[in-house]
Chain A
């Protein structure tokens, strides 16, 4: 066990792309946790997809030993947190395991929406926040402006902000000195019953579920019988240890220490982020505060393009869930798409990542239907039904009213784009709350907006209308009643359930019209004419037609052409394979996402 006064637990928080992971890399090098020759970029982002996209999805913890200027060797636990609004709860739990945070701000970009959101979370967790202005090696770096923004926008004194460059390594030692000097050491009662916070977990094929924990009170060691309080599960601790970043077993983890716990469990969903580990007998009576069940925010149907791959998709989801219990899924069948799964995700990025991992790691070809949110439908007989798919919408005659999730949205943007934001939010049924100037270059705008509008391509449009300058953060505030209707799409006169969506009544006509137009461009000409119709409750509100294909023939085919033309036919065939056969109509995958790209 390490003397708590020599421990510093801290995390690095930042807006996406502000250089968090690169900075972590430098810390690992400077402390010789990883030797230069073993260094890869973004060490803590171990998934390919994390490295490619430059984002962190899974939380990580690593113990480094640092000999400070005072000559004392300190144990620093660096907890790397996911960097996206989809994972806000996970971030909050990771922060709970720390006493301090390095708030990284890009010297060229300044304070952005998630800088603010993360800083507020860190403040709520009562962390010591050390501002660090990163990327000072860039020619366009403006540390003075950023210092000013940090003080204005976050009310955090920044005159002693660390100036650093993750790229060159400059200032990284200063950052660690600041951590040792400013971050309080953990305090806990070594004699009290064990209390440890689970802030992440993952699945190891050989050892089962491994939890990342922070000990608050007492201690934990192998062979102990402990209980996971929220899950109500008792386990025998197989091993405890620290990550450097490879697993190094230790005899016990004491007050303030961060490490891993081999649970021996096979079911990841029993090991919940935010849960408290205590002794099975004579344990703590009160769990650590802040635990909540993670609920999916967006839902989509995932269907194998090749219907025969359904069992493989099921296996893949089962396996993926071992590492990410926040993914939920249940079988869904669609007349148009066959058998698949309705899946719930923490957000759009999470959804995209899971789909990509399923395709990549399990070699599946998947079709995703347009994402939806969880609606609360109140029937005329007073019942409330939660629906995750437009298909499940009850008959309009039996519906009294429908509620949908609403968000508090925060947008940070340079003043010249305020007009653009006003326009965009207007299109997305948003209510303006207020705005304030954080500095001469940054305005903070607050809106209330339905979640269903946020997932309608809002983020891409926000970026394009502000040339990438705007940043966004949001949190769910609750459910509100809206006038919603289900809009159906018919191809060749037959409703295609997978194309249905739920839309605000006032927008239904315009969206239906635009969607049919869009689909006319997406659905290739078939051998017969294909009418595309949009309908609400059986009433047609828009119609377009894909005319029949009349000519598709290679007319010239002589000696020199045969091989080439044959290859052309093979290519055509391959293209068709990527389409979904809906009845007699070949529908490209993008048709099912077209609704997201409909802007009115």
Chain B
């Protein structure tokens, strides 16, 4: 097991630079558990989508938001389903946004669309990291998840990525009904041998409105068993740590230096712009002000001079997006400094580095954390630099919601 003591806090991303996320809403078919915005098919809209996304990114660049982009992430959906259009998208984005030297450029892909020539072309265009949705190396589990590929296709995709020389991550799902401990163990063993330098482990979550949700509600399939998921999360930590990929976040394991920098932006309060339908953006109040003033968007209530951040998601359908890529955002969520402090503390506790005592104080969470410590969910550790930090424990990873809920809602944790 990893011991959080001695692990350096992860490099914090400065708040000002804006990372860029592009949402590609196309898939070959929809998986039973997935609630991301994406469309099965939609061939005719793929080219127009790329045009629209490039137009939108170009628009943002006028606000000087994309001058120093630490990370570009193209997710979905299945971006590689776009084929050569994806290469065009990557090239166009890199022309539009000014990437910081050494910036992380990630493309998500799925086994059935991972093609050696496409991968090579993407690397040529500037991509340096791939995230592959393998989910499992067991055909039975893949079928239960409603995935449209088999284990063999997953293996082939990992070989293509490994041979390409780029760093890549794979996603795995555990806690699936019918998935045995042995199957999970075998999948983990393959994962550590396939060349991935980063592995994400997700216990299957039942999201509202998905086909999985419907079949559980109607009694067709049983709900995932949380005990199985707990066992599998523990097994993953053992196997991945032993293979040199320690956990650095609730669901993330990586070789040191191969942590997903883009995801760290989300967990450390960095700014990001989302391009594409249903992509979320978060900006500092100053950055948002620049945009909102010119676009005539909602401004923070004048009674709230402490507004520190704004977050918004443009919920346009794919068709609407292609027609009008610059439509107004939906409701904008304004966070004041207190909320920002609590949210950053909550998200920071998702990472092994945890949060500094100063951060805990800013979030007014010291008492809450002491209560959580009594329950064995967090503890104080000393970082490499000798700084005291609050960090989530082994038990805390499994019962993270207890920690997140208490810190976010400002205490109220049950002290024994």
Interface residues of A (CB under 8 A from B): 527, 547, 549-560, 562-563, 566, 569-570, 572-573, 581, 584, 586
The answer to whether B401 and A569 have CB atoms under 8 Å apart is yes
The answer to whether A549 and B203 have CB atoms under 8 Å apart is no
A-B pairs with beta carbons under 8 A, tally: 99
B333 contacts across to A, CB distance below 8 A? 563
Is residue B414 within 8 Å, beta carbon to beta carbon, of the partner chain? yes
The answer to whether B280 and A553 have CB atoms under 8 Å apart is no
- How many angstroms from the CA of A590 to the CA of B286 in the assembled complex? 50
Is residue B46 within 8 Å, beta carbon to beta carbon, of the partner chain? no
B399 contact from A553, A584, A586, Cβ within 8 A: A553
29 A-B contact pairs sorted by A residue (CB < 8 Å): A527-B399, A547-B227, A551-B203, A551-B226, A551-B227, A552-B226, A552-B399, A553-B399, A553-B400, A554-B205, A555-B202, A555-B203, A555-B205, A557-B266, A557-B350, A558-B263, A559-B21, A559-B266, A559-B272, A559-B279, A560-B278, A562-B280, A562-B282, A562-B343, A563-B280, A569-B408, A569-B409, A581-B414, A584-B414
The answer to whether B409 and A573 have CB atoms under 8 Å apart is yes
The closest CB in chain B to the CB of A572 belongs to B405
Is residue B233 within 8 Å, beta carbon to beta carbon, of the partner chain? yes
The closest CB in chain B to the CB of A586 belongs to B414
The answer to whether B416 and A552 have CB atoms under 8 Å apart is no
A547 contacts across to B, CB distance below 8 A? 227
Query: Chain A CB within 10 Å — which of B250, B405, B412 has the most?
Result: B405
- How many angstroms from the CA of A566 to the CA of B343 in the assembled complex? 9
- How many angstroms from the CA of A549 to the CA of B412 in the assembled complex? 19
A550 contacts across to B, CB distance below 8 A? 226-227, 230, 398-399
The answer to whether A573 and B226 have CB atoms under 8 Å apart is no
B404 contacts across to A, CB distance below 8 A? 554, 569
Grouping DSSP codes into helix (H, G, I), strand (E, B) and loop, the A interface class, with mixed when no group exceeds half, is loop
B263 contacts across to A, CB distance below 8 A? 558
- How many angstroms from the CA of A551 to the CA of B23 in the assembled complex? 30
A552 contacts across to B, CB distance below 8 A? 226, 398-402
Q: Given A569-B408, A581-B414, decide whether A549 and B266 contact each other with a Cβ distance below 8 A.
A: no
Minimal beta-carbon separation of A431 from chain B (angstroms):
43
Minimal beta-carbon separation of A338 from chain B (angstroms):
15
Interface string of B120-155 (1 = CB under 8 A from A): 000000000000000000000000000000000000
Q: Given A527-B399, A584-B414, decide whether A573 and B202 contact each other with a Cβ distance below 8 A.
A: no
The closest CB in chain B to the CB of A573 belongs to B409
- How many angstroms from the CA of A558 to the CA of B251 in the assembled complex? 11
B409 contacts across to A, CB distance below 8 A? 569-570, 573
Minimal beta-carbon separation of B354 from chain A (angstroms):
16
The answer to whether B226 and A549 have CB atoms under 8 Å apart is yes
- How many angstroms from the CA of A566 to the CA of B267 in the assembled complex? 13
Leading 8 A-B pairs by shortest Cβ distance: A553-B400, A550-B230, A551-B230, A560-B280, A555-B251, A551-B226, A569-B405, A584-B416
Query: Chain B CB within 10 Å — which of A552, A559, A560 has the most?
Result: A559
Is residue B397 within 8 Å, beta carbon to beta carbon, of the partner chain? yes
A566 contacts across to B, CB distance below 8 A? 343, 346, 408
Given contacts A551-B226, A559-B274, 14 further A-B contacts (CB under 8 A): A527-B375, A527-B399, A549-B399, A551-B175, A551-B233, A553-B203, A553-B398, A557-B347, A557-B350, A559-B282, A563-B311, A569-B404, A570-B405, A581-B414
A559 contacts across to B, CB distance below 8 A? 21, 266, 272, 274, 279-282
Query: Chain A CB within 10 Å — which of B267, B346, B401, B408 has the most?
Result: B401
B311 contacts across to A, CB distance below 8 A? 562-563
* Chain B positions 10-34 with a Cβ under 8 Å from a chain A Cβ: 21, 23
The closest CB in chain B to the CB of A526 belongs to B414
Minimal beta-carbon separation of A547 from chain B (angstroms):
8
Interface string of B56-82 (1 = CB under 8 A from A): 000000000000000000000000000
Is residue B179 within 8 Å, beta carbon to beta carbon, of the partner chain? no
B401 contact from A558, A572, A581, A584, Cβ within 8 A: A572
A569 contacts across to B, CB distance below 8 A? 401, 404-405, 408-409
B401 contacts across to A, CB distance below 8 A? 552-554, 569, 572
- How many angstroms from the CA of A547 to the CA of B405 in the assembled complex? 22
The answer to whether A560 and B279 have CB atoms under 8 Å apart is yes
The closest CB in chain B to the CB of A553 belongs to B400
- How many angstroms from the CA of A573 to the CA of B368 in the assembled complex? 14
Is residue B326 within 8 Å, beta carbon to beta carbon, of the partner chain? no
Is residue B313 within 8 Å, beta carbon to beta carbon, of the partner chain? yes
Is residue B229 within 8 Å, beta carbon to beta carbon, of the partner chain? yes
The closest CB in chain B to the CB of A550 belongs to B230
The closest CB in chain A to the CB of B339 belongs to A566
The closest CB in chain A to the CB of B400 belongs to A553
- How many angstroms from the CA of A447 to the CA of B402 in the assembled complex? 53
The answer to whether A551 and B229 have CB atoms under 8 Å apart is yes
Query: Chain B CB within 10 Å — which of A551, A552, A581 has the most?
Result: A551
Minimal beta-carbon separation of B311 from chain A (angstroms):
6
A586 contacts across to B, CB distance below 8 A? 414
A555 contact from B21, B250, B267, Cβ within 8 A: B250
Query: Chain B CB within 10 Å — which of A549, A560, A584 has the most?
Result: A560
The answer to whether B402 and A527 have CB atoms under 8 Å apart is yes
The closest CB in chain A to the CB of B415 belongs to A584
Minimal beta-carbon separation of B145 from chain A (angstroms):
15
The closest CB in chain A to the CB of B395 belongs to A527
- How many angstroms from the CA of A562 to the CA of B272 in the assembled complex? 13
Query: Chain B CB within 10 Å — which of A554, A555, A569 has the most?
Result: A555
Minimal beta-carbon separation of A306 from chain B (angstroms):
12
The answer to whether A573 and B205 have CB atoms under 8 Å apart is no
Minimal beta-carbon separation of B117 from chain A (angstroms):
29
Minimal beta-carbon separation of A299 from chain B (angstroms):
31
* Chain B positions 146-203 with a Cβ under 8 Å from a chain A Cβ: 175, 201-203
- How many angstroms from the CA of A557 to the CA of B265 in the assembled complex? 12
A556 contacts across to B, CB distance below 8 A? 202, 205, 251
Minimal beta-carbon separation of A549 from chain B (angstroms):
7
The answer to whether A570 and B408 have CB atoms under 8 Å apart is yes
Minimal beta-carbon separation of B78 from chain A (angstroms):
16
The closest CB in chain B to the CB of A585 belongs to B414
- How many angstroms from the CA of A218 to the CA of B259 in the assembled complex? 97
- How many angstroms from the CA of A551 to the CA of B401 in the assembled complex? 9
Minimal beta-carbon separation of A567 from chain B (angstroms):
10
B400 contacts across to A, CB distance below 8 A? 552-555
* Chain B positions 267-287 with a Cβ under 8 Å from a chain A Cβ: 267, 272, 274, 278-282
Interface string of B268-311 (1 = CB under 8 A from A): 00001010001111100000000000000000000000000001
A555 contacts across to B, CB distance below 8 A? 201-203, 205, 250-251, 400
- How many angstroms from the CA of A57 to the CA of B348 in the assembled complex? 57
- How many angstroms from the CA of A553 to the CA of B311 in the assembled complex? 23
- How many angstroms from the CA of A121 to the CA of B286 in the assembled complex? 79
A573 contacts across to B, CB distance below 8 A? 405, 409, 412
B272 contacts across to A, CB distance below 8 A? 559
Minimal beta-carbon separation of B81 from chain A (angstroms):
19
- How many angstroms from the CA of A287 to the CA of B156 in the assembled complex? 100
